[in-house]
Amino acid sequence: MQLAYRNKRITGVLTVIPKNCKTFDEEMKNYQADKKRSRRLKLVMGYDRHHFVEPGVCASDLAVFGVETLLHEGKLRKEEIDAIVTVTQSPDYFMPTTGAVIHGRLGLDSHVYCVDISQGCTGYLTGLMEAFSLLDQPQTRKVLLINVDVLSHKVSKEDRNSYPLIGDAASVTVVERTEEETRIDGEIRMDGSRHDALMIPAGGFRQPSTPETAVLHEDSEGNRRSLDNLVMKGADVFNFVQTEMPPLLASLFARLGVKKEEIDWFLFHQPNKFMVEKLAQAIDVPLEKMPSNIVTYFGNASGVTIPTNICYNVGEKLLGHTYKVCLAGFGVGLTWGAMVLELGQLDFCEMVEF
């Protein structure tokens, strides 16, 4: 699907990171794996530390904290909010929606429309798509995009393939209609035939959680996980990204008549350092234009790695300058997509601890 939006802009980005943090070295004792090999893996994949919530902390807790921070600092007013788009794959409940929980906890007016989207690695892009579309309504001026995941609750601590990568985080992005001539273009694609490359097998209606689905099983590499835990076919995901993303980006740039050299920043989802750097090589983009350090410092919080990337790597620059950026996400679904837009002159772009 090709995407095109006009007279819309991002005016602020806030990322919320849990204070709770552990290093790869601290957790190495959890893994049934050779220590020397694990340390080599640490260097290649970019493992160092990851931030995750305490038991009992849910997606709405991080989201409400983020919005209340903006309200307290005077960077947002309740009466300005026309709609909230919440993107998460770790909702507080099956029902009601997490957006409804956020709406109630914030005490928002009944005219504030809320919609939830279940999406992972491309979640920030799909959230922007929905926010931009809502801004086409004549009475809608400002939309909050909340992208949040607390997937650490669903990853086995004895799974060296997944647990060192996983982080929890939330982001609040303010998206507004503008009278200025702005252009945002993108492409997004899906291949559901490969949906089992990244999944949590049990816990839904297809396979409800039972005492049996909670039993840990060991794979050929010594990782122990249950059917209630996230499972990732690492090689399949890596090959998918390297195969599918370069032609999508080439198609998008060709349609827009944009050369890669004209893009100031490639702010992509970051599943791990190795995958991002290999993708940079595949599309012939300098590593200094395509940061790969989010998993190293914070962990992979699914689609929230994109706004974290924005805040951590370009945050202060975006307050007084505008850049042509390419945002991209790829993963669970399998889904992949990218957007090209002008990003800058923001009212705020910062990170806070929960």
* Over residues 298-306, mean pLDDT: 97
Lowest pLDDT segment from 215-224, 273-282, 297-306, 320-329: 215-224
Whether pLDDT at 210 is above 90: yes
pLDDT band at 26; cut points 50, 70, 90: confident
pLDDT at 198: 94
pLDDT at 33: 67
97-139 pLDDT, tens per residue?
A: 999 999 999 999 999 999 999 999 999 999 999 999 999 999 9
Between the CA atoms of 328, 70, 53 and 316, what dihedral angle is there, to the nearest 10 degrees? 50
Would you list the domain boundaries of the chain? 1-354
138-185 pLDDT, tens per residue?
A: 999 999 999 999 999 999 998 888 888 899 999 999 999 998 889 999
Whether pLDDT at 36 is above 80: no
Q: Which residues pair with 148 in a beta bridge?
A: 170
Which CATH code for domain 1-354? 3.40.47.10
Q: 211: burial class by Cβ within 10 Å (0-12, 13-18, 19+)?
A: exposed
